[in-house]
Amino acid sequence: MKKERFEERKQQLESLSDEELNTLFWRRADQIVDPLAKLAENHTSPSIERSVLLRMGFNSLEAKEIVQGIFDLDLLGKGAGNILLTLSKELDKDYLQVGKEMIEGKHWKTVEKIFKGVE
């Protein structure tokens, strides 16, 4: 059964030109990768968000506290970096300063207001 299927598929592919094979390859590659890309767009994790904050200049302890606060508000899907940048624009302050102030307990109500519409 498998050999017959292979031979049938082989004949189909042999009849294609190089351009058609190239098009087929990239179409199939997109079909394989699209679900992964969609999953990555809509899902994140605390470790990914901590990694983002590390690259933004926070140390690991700071990143952990900020991400935990965002996680506790059920806003992790908005992205920790996005939240910090949006909040820093709203407050007209440097995002590093805003992050450090969040660790001190400041600005969490503003985050809720911006991202959840909570007053």
Ramachandran angles phi, psi of 106, nearest 5°: -90, 155
pTM beyond cutoff 0.95: no
Query: For the chain, what percentages of helix, strand and coil (3-state, to nearest 5) are there?
Result: 80, 0, 20
List, for residues 16-37, the tens digit of each pLDDT value.
899 998 999 999 999 998 887 7
List, for residues 47-98, the tens digit of each pLDDT value.
999 999 999 999 999 999 999 999 999 999 899 999 999 999 999 999 999 9
Comparison of pLDDT for 117 and 26, the residue scoring more: 26
CA-CA distance, 45 to 38, in Å (whole number)? 15
DSSP letter for 18, please: H
pLDDT band per the 50, 70, 90 thresholds, residue 119: low
Tokens of 59: 């140390």
CATH of domain 46-116: 1.10.8.1000
Where are the domains positioned within the chain? 2-42, 46-116
Q: Which residues contact 77 (CB under 8 A, 6 or more apart)?
A: 42, 43, 44
